[in-house]
C-alpha cells in the first residue's frame, strides 16, 4: 500500500463512504506477512516510497515465488535481484508475468510505482564494458523506482576524451552512479569535474592485485575528490537505492 492509497482509504473513512471494519480489513496485511521462511515487509512502501526488494541469491525458486506472490497480492511491484538465468526460468514457470533482464540479473514485475519526474535523468557511468552488468542492476532499480536514467558507458580513465565528450550530461544530472573496477579511479575524476552528487560502485573486474574489487573499493574510499559516497563491491542495487533516497529527500525539502 502506497502513501496515496492509505490517504485515500482514510479519506473514505472520514467521509463515511467506508466503514471502520472494512478499512481495518484492508490494513490487515500491514506491516508484514509471515511465511515461515520470510517476513514480507508490506510497510516498506509507506516508510520509504518503494516496496521490499527480494535478494534472489541463496533463495530457492519456491521461496522467491512465495514472497513475490505476497507482494503481488498486496498490490506491490516486484523486483528480485541477483537471479541466475536457470533460477529465473524456474520462477517464471509459476509467475509467467515476471520479466527477466539477464545482463542485470534482475526479475521485475509491474510498472514503476512512482511516475518519472521532470528533472534531468540520473547518469549511470561505467569505466569499461565489463562493468555494465553492475550498472544495469542500478538502472533496473532506478526504473522500478520511477527515476529516469541515462547510460554513459565505457568512459574510463584510459581515454579521458570519451568522458569529456559527455560532460554536459554529467553536469545536468541530479546524481551520478559511477561504476569502475581495476584501480577504481573514475569516480575521483568525475568528482573533480562536476558538483553532482556521486555514488561510486567498485566492481570485481580487474587483473591480479585488483583482488576481486578490493583495490577499486580502497581507491574509491581514499579518493581525493571530496564528498563521494561509496557502496560495496558490485552493489549496483545499493547505489541506486542511495540515489533514490537522495532525490526523494531533495524533493521533500
At the topology level, CATH places domain 122-252 in Rossmann fold (3.40.50)
CA dihedral 252, 72, 77, 233 (to 10 degrees): 110
How much is the pLDDT for 74?
Answer: 75
**Angle 82-248-10 (CA atoms, 0-180°, nearest 5)?**
100
**Cβ atoms 56, 82 nearer than 8 A:** yes
* Tens digits of pLDDT across the chain (253 residues): 566 666 777 788 788 887 777 766 666 556 666 567 666 665 666 666 666 788 999 999 999 998 888 888 877 788 899 999 999 999 999 999 889 999 999 999 876 555 555 578 999 999 999 999 999 999 999 998 889 999 999 999 989 999 999 999 999 999 999 999 999 999 999 999 999 999 999 999 988 888 999 999 999 999 999 999 999 999 999 999 999 989 887 776 6
Q: Domain residues of the chain, as ranges? A: 31-109, 122-252
Which one, of 237, 2, 14, 21, lies nearest residue 138 by Cα? 237
> What's the Cα-to-Cα distance from 66 to each of 38, 181, 216, rounded to whole Å?
9, 36, 37
From CA 173, how far away is CA 98, in angstroms rounded? 31
b/e burial code for range 31-62 (CB count within 10 A of at least 16 → b): eebeeeebebbbebbeeebbbbbbebeebebe
- Block residue for cell numbers 532525490: 247
Predicted TM-score (pTM) of this structure: 0.81
With b for 16 or more beta-carbon neighbours within 10 A and e for fewer, the 163-193 pattern comes to beebeebbeebbbbbbbbbbbbbbbbbbbee
Give the three cell numbers for residue 87: 533460477
Encode burial over 74-84: b for 16+ CB neighbours within 10 A, e otherwise: bebbbbbbbbe
Three cell numbers at 151?
Answer: 547510460
Gyration radius of the chain's alpha carbons: 20
Amino acid at each position: 500500500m502506497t502513501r496515496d492509497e492509505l490517504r485515500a482509504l482514510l479519506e473514505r473513512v472520514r467521509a463515511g463512504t467506508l466503514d471502520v471494519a472494512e478499512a481495518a480489513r484492508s490494513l490487515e496485511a500491514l506491516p508484514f506477512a509471515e511465511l515461515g521462511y520470510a517476513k514480507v515487509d508490506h510497510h516498506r512502501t509507506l516508510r520509504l516510497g518503494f516496496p521490499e526488494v527480494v535478494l534472489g541469491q541463496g533463495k530457492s525458486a519456491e521461496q522467491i515465488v512465495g514472497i513475490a506472490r505476497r507482494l503481488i497480492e498486496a498490490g506491490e511491484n516486484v523486483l528480485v535481484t541477483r537471479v541466475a538465468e536457470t533460477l529465473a526460468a524456474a520462477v517464471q514457470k509459476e509467475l509467467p508475468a515476471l520479466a527477466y533482464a539477464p545482463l542485470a540479473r534482475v526479475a521485475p514485475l509491474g510498472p514503476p510505482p512512482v511516475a518519472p519526474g521532470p528533472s534531468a535523468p540520473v547518469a549511470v557511468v561505467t569505466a569499461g564494458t565489463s562493468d555494465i552488468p553492475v550498472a544495469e542492476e542500478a538502472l533496473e532499480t532506478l526504473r522500478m523506482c520511477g527515476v529516469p536514467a541515462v547510460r554513459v558507458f565505457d568512459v574510463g580513465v584510459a581515454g579521458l576524451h570519451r568522458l569529456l565528450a559527455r560532460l554536459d550530461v554529467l553536469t545536468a544530472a541530479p546524481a551520478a552512479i559511477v561504476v569502475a573496477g581495476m584501480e577504481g579511479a573514475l569516480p575521483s575524476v568525475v568528482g573533480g569535474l562536476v558538483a553532482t552528487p556521486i555514488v561510486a560502485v567498485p566492481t570485481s573486474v580487474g587483473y591480479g592485485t585488483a583482488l576481486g574489487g578490493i583495490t577499486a573499493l580502497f581507491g574509491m574510499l581514499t579518493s581525493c575528490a571530496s564528498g563521494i559516497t561509496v557502496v560495496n563491491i558490485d552493489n549496483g542495487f545499493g547505489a541506486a537505492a542511495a540515489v533514490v533516497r537522495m532525490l526523494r529527500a531533495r524533493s521533500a525539502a
